[in-house]
């Protein structure tokens, strides 16, 4: 799984990849994959969360999924610091007609649970300085929220996603083998959405027994 493959994903393909990697991470930890929620009414009504993890609060976890309550926002765009604030704080119209930006309720809820909010961007690669800028922008976006220090914030770029994917995406961990119907179902879903890069991985599964990745892990 290369950065180029990650960059080729649309929003739906990126969301599905995040969900599959979360399931793989939970499966290797012998935790219930039912904790991964995505799609339809399972995601936040305010549009701030694409994939949500709901584990018991005392579950030991770190790495790709940093907290038992974690929300991932999938963006098939480059996300500079200026866009991050807009993403986390939606524009609302006040009673006097003026406009302001307020933190999304879904992010507030994660903070109340001492959870984590992660933005995943499939476009662009961030050097250390740029990554720091993005994390700083995320922290600034929640600065007026009481108890915001309890909220874990992070930003995954395409290079980091490719590395994490390589660590977590074994066929069995992703549910792609040897149960072939599951691979075909994944391919059908991705084909419907035009997510060519991940579809290529499903095709490789059908023609190879080599698997999709290396050792598990993924520590931050």
C-alpha to C-alpha distance for 16 and 50, rounded to whole angstroms = 9
| Whether the Cβ atoms of residue 85 and residue 141 lie closer than 8 Å to each other | yes
13 or 194: which carries more pLDDT confidence? Answer: 13
Q: What is the mean pLDDT of residues 75-104?
A: 86
Domain boundaries, the chain: 3-174
Say what the pLDDT of residue 99 is: 83
2 or 16: which carries more pLDDT confidence? Answer: 16
Cα–Cα distance list, 6 to 18, 48, 98, 100, 170 (Å):
11, 21, 39, 34, 16
Check whether 179 has a pLDDT greater than 90.
Answer: no
- DSSP string of 162-189, one letter each residue: HHHHHHH--TTTTT-SS-HHHHHHHHHH
Say what the pLDDT of residue 163 is: 81
C-alpha to C-alpha distance for 216 and 130, rounded to whole angstroms = 27
The residues near 109 (Cβ < 8 Å, ≥ 6 apart) are none
Place of tokens 């994939």: 51
C-alpha to C-alpha distance for 60 and 21, rounded to whole angstroms = 18
C-alpha to C-alpha distance for 197 and 7, rounded to whole angstroms = 8
First to last CA, the chain: 19
Check whether 41 has a pLDDT greater than 60.
Answer: no
Check whether 140 has a pLDDT greater than 80.
Answer: yes
Q: How confident is the model at residue 67 (pLDDT cuts 50, 70, 90)?
A: very high
What pTM, to 2 d.p., does this model score?
0.74
Nearest to 148 by CA among 183, 109, 182: 109
């Amino acid at each position: 799984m290369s950065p180029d493959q990650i960059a080729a994903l649309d929003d739906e393909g990126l969301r599905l990849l995040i969900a599959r990697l979360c399931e793989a991470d939970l499966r290797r930890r012998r935790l219930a994959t039912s904790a991964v929620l995505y799609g339809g009414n399972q995601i936040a009504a305010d549009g701030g969360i694409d994939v949500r993890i709901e584990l018991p609060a005392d579950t030991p976890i770190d790495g790709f999924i940093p907290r038992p309550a974690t929300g991932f926002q999938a963006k098939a765009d480059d996300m500079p610091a200026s866009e991050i604030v807009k993403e986390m704080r939606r524009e609302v119209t006040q009673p006097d007609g003026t406009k302001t930006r307020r933190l999304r309720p879904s992010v507030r809820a994660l903070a109340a649970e001492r959870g984590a909010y992660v933005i995943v961007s499939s476009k662009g690669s961030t050097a250390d300085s740029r990554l720091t800028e993005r994390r700083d922008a995320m922290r600034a976006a929640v600065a007026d929220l009481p108890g915001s220090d309890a909220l874990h914030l992070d930003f995954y770029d395409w290079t980091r996603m490719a590395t994490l994917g390589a660590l977590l995406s074994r066929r069995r961990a992703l549910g792609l083998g040897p149960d072939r119907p599951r691979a075909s179902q994944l391919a059908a879903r991705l084909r419907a959405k035009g997510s060519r890069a991940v579809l290529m991985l499903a095709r490789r599964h059908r023609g190879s027994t080599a698997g999709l990745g290396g050792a598990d892990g993924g520590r931050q």
